[in-house]
Amino acid sequence: MPYYLLIYHVVEDYVSRRAPFRDVHLRLAQEARDRGELVLGGALADPVDKAVLVFRCEGPGIIEAFIQRDPYVQNGLVEKWEIRPWAVAIS
Protein backbone atom coordinates (compact mmCIF):
# COMPACT_ATOMS: atom_id res chain seq x y z
CA MET A 1 0.00 0.00 0.00
CA PRO A 2 1.40 3.44 -0.91
CA TYR A 3 2.48 6.15 1.51
CA TYR A 4 1.40 9.79 1.35
CA LEU A 5 2.49 12.92 3.18
CA LEU A 6 -0.14 15.40 4.24
CA ILE A 7 1.63 18.72 4.77
CA TYR A 8 -0.28 21.39 6.63
CA HIS A 9 0.93 25.00 6.33
CA VAL A 10 -0.29 26.52 9.58
CA VAL A 11 -0.97 30.12 10.63
CA GLU A 12 1.63 32.06 12.58
CA ASP A 13 -0.26 31.84 15.90
CA TYR A 14 -1.19 28.17 15.42
CA VAL A 15 0.17 26.99 18.78
CA SER A 16 -1.78 29.57 20.77
CA ARG A 17 -5.02 28.99 18.80
CA ARG A 18 -5.14 25.18 18.59
CA ALA A 19 -6.17 24.36 22.19
CA PRO A 20 -9.98 24.50 21.69
CA PHE A 21 -9.73 22.14 18.69
CA ARG A 22 -6.89 19.85 19.74
CA ASP A 23 -8.95 17.08 21.37
CA VAL A 24 -11.16 16.62 18.31
CA HIS A 25 -8.16 16.81 15.96
CA LEU A 26 -6.31 14.16 17.96
CA ARG A 27 -9.42 11.95 18.16
CA LEU A 28 -9.77 12.06 14.35
CA ALA A 29 -6.08 11.24 14.00
CA GLN A 30 -6.37 8.34 16.46
CA GLU A 31 -9.39 6.98 14.59
CA ALA A 32 -7.43 7.12 11.32
CA ARG A 33 -4.52 5.39 13.04
CA ASP A 34 -6.83 2.68 14.43
CA ARG A 35 -8.10 2.03 10.88
CA GLY A 36 -4.49 1.64 9.71
CA GLU A 37 -4.56 4.79 7.53
CA LEU A 38 -2.43 7.20 9.57
CA VAL A 39 1.08 6.08 10.49
CA LEU A 40 2.30 9.14 12.42
CA GLY A 41 2.03 12.89 12.53
CA GLY A 42 3.09 16.06 14.27
CA ALA A 43 4.07 19.69 13.96
CA LEU A 44 7.49 20.79 12.76
CA ALA A 45 9.43 22.87 15.29
CA ASP A 46 11.64 25.96 15.10
CA PRO A 47 9.56 27.45 13.57
CA VAL A 48 6.17 25.84 14.04
CA ASP A 49 5.01 26.63 10.52
CA LYS A 50 3.99 23.23 9.21
CA ALA A 51 2.68 19.88 10.36
CA VAL A 52 3.27 16.55 8.61
CA LEU A 53 1.02 13.51 8.75
CA VAL A 54 2.13 10.24 7.16
CA PHE A 55 -0.67 8.15 5.70
CA ARG A 56 -0.50 4.65 4.28
CA CYS A 57 -3.67 4.10 2.32
CA GLU A 58 -5.10 3.25 -1.08
CA GLY A 59 -5.37 6.82 -2.30
CA PRO A 60 -5.70 10.51 -1.51
CA GLY A 61 -9.50 10.32 -1.10
CA ILE A 62 -9.03 8.99 2.43
CA ILE A 63 -6.74 11.91 3.24
CA GLU A 64 -9.11 14.44 1.68
CA ALA A 65 -11.92 13.11 3.90
CA PHE A 66 -9.66 13.56 6.94
CA ILE A 67 -8.90 17.15 5.90
CA GLN A 68 -12.59 17.99 5.47
CA ARG A 69 -13.35 16.80 9.03
CA ASP A 70 -10.28 18.30 10.72
CA PRO A 71 -11.22 21.21 13.03
CA TYR A 72 -7.79 22.79 12.42
CA VAL A 73 -8.78 23.20 8.78
CA GLN A 74 -12.40 24.13 9.52
CA ASN A 75 -11.33 26.87 11.95
CA GLY A 76 -8.62 28.52 9.87
CA LEU A 77 -5.49 27.20 11.62
CA VAL A 78 -4.34 25.61 8.35
CA GLU A 79 -3.71 28.13 5.56
CA LYS A 80 -3.16 25.49 2.89
CA TRP A 81 -2.25 21.83 2.59
CA GLU A 82 -0.50 19.48 0.21
CA ILE A 83 -0.94 15.76 -0.34
CA ARG A 84 2.23 14.24 -1.75
CA PRO A 85 2.88 10.60 -2.70
CA TRP A 86 5.94 9.40 -0.83
CA ALA A 87 8.23 6.82 -2.43
CA VAL A 88 9.53 5.11 0.70
CA ALA A 89 12.86 3.38 0.08
CA ILE A 90 13.43 1.94 3.58
CA SER A 91 10.85 1.14 6.24
Query: Is 91 inside a domain boundary?
Result: no
Domain of 9, in residue numbers: 3-86
Output the domain CATH number for residue 45: 3.30.70.1060
Count of the separate structural domains present in the chain = 1
pLDDT in tens, the chain (91 residues): 999 999 999 999 999 999 999 999 999 999 999 999 999 999 999 999 999 999 999 999 999 999 999 999 999 999 999 999 999 999 8
Beta strand ranges found along the chain (DSSP E): 3-10, 38-43, 50-56, 78-86
Does residue 25 lie in a domain region? Answer: yes
Radius of gyration of the chain (CA): 13
- The whole-model pTM stands at 0.95
